[in-house]
């Protein structure tokens, strides 16, 4: 049996892991709030450009400005995705797997993470968060494409300064989106775990999670707790 000191150390480790996970999730929610505000603000700016007030003179043609704005928007969303997923989601995955390891080692710990990993069906939240960023980026990339096509369609000299600005803006709107789609695969919890040593990479497998849950049920029932329905 574990000593009192070991039990206290285990409790402290579990509490610290839980605090870290809550902190990372709160930080990620704040980053996504910034991304939402950023997206809505840019939509308002694009709408302002298309109003074409006769008394307002823009430095560049409206279509060129729209393409540049879409580019800066997607670059900004890409940077926010880096903070959200490549930084904080990876930190969350690290804490999650460490907690899952403790659940497999000590059957008296409630298998919260094992149940959650089992219920996802092999698809972590990172897959859905990807769409939170990619869908707006796709919309702005589409706007940039139409803006560039409209500009080059009416410009007699497409490769003057504003033409180069449109070309740069078009590239800047497409490349961040493609990069996010490519890198998002590595943030998924199950892919993340697959790159770890075998003792950790197998923790998220379905059979391991089932065994962890069953051991906890046996431990609980053996300790005198009232059996669950169906046990």
Would you state the pLDDT for residue 66? 80
Nearest residue to 202 via CA among 190, 214, 213, 186: 190
Would you state the pLDDT for residue 1? 47
Nearest residue to 118 via CA among 30, 50, 211, 225: 211
How does DSSP classify residue 227?
P
- 102 in a domain, yes or no? yes
Would you state the pLDDT for residue 230? 43
Q: How many domains does the chain have?
A: 1
Per-residue pLDDT of the chain (231 residues; tens, 9 = 90+): 456 666 788 888 889 999 999 999 999 999 999 999 999 998 887 777 666 655 556 566 667 778 888 888 999 999 999 999 999 999 999 999 999 999 999 988 999 999 999 998 888 888 899 999 999 999 988 888 777 776 665 554 555 545 656 676 677 788 889 999 999 888 999 989 988 888 888 999 999 999 999 999 988 887 554 544 444
3-state secondary structure at position 44: helix
Would you state the pLDDT for residue 207? 93
- 171 in a domain, yes or no? yes
Largest CA distance in the chain: 85
Range of the domain at 25: 7-222
3-state secondary structure at position 155: coil
- 2 in a domain, yes or no? no
Question: And the tokens for 46?
Answer: 């694009």
Would you state the pLDDT for residue 229? 41
Rounded Cα gap, residues 131 and 74, in angstroms: 13
Rounded Cα gap, residues 19 and 230, in angstroms: 34
Nearest residue to 29 via CA among 84, 91, 82: 84
Q: Is 230 exposed, middle or buried (0-12, 13-18, 19+ CB in 10 A)?
A: exposed
Would you state the pLDDT for residue 206? 92
- 229 in a domain, yes or no? no
- 65 in a domain, yes or no? yes
């Amino acid at each position: 049996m574990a000593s009192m000191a070991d039990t206290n150390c285990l409790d402290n480790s579990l509490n610290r892991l839980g605090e870290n996970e809550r902190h990372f999730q709160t930080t990620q929610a704040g980053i996504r709030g910034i991304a939402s505000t950023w997206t809505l603000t840019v939509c308002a700016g694009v709408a302002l450009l298309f109003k074409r007030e006769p008394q307002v003179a823009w430095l560049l043609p409206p279509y060129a400005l729209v393409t540049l704005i879409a580019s800066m928007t997607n670059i900004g969303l890409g940077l926010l995705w880096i903070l959200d997923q490549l930084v904080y989601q990876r930190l969350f995955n690290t804490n999650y797997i460490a907690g899952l390891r403790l659940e497999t080692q000590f059957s008296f710990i409630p298998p919260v993470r094992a149940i959650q990993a089992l219920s996802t069906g092999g698809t972590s939240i990172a897959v859905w968060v990807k769409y939170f960023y990619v869908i707006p980026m796709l919309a702005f990339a589409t706007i940039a494409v139409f803006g560039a096509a409209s500009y080059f369609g009416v410009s007699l000299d497409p490769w003057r300064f504003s033409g180069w600005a449109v070309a740069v803006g078009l590239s800047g709107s497409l490349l961040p989106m493609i990069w996010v789609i490519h890198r998002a695969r590595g943030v998924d919890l199950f892919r993340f775990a697959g790159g770890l040593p075998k003792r950790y990479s197998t923790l998220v497998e379905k059979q391991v999670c089932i065994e962890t849950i069953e051991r906890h049920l046996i431990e609980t029932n053996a300790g005198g707790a009232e059996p669950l329905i169906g046990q």
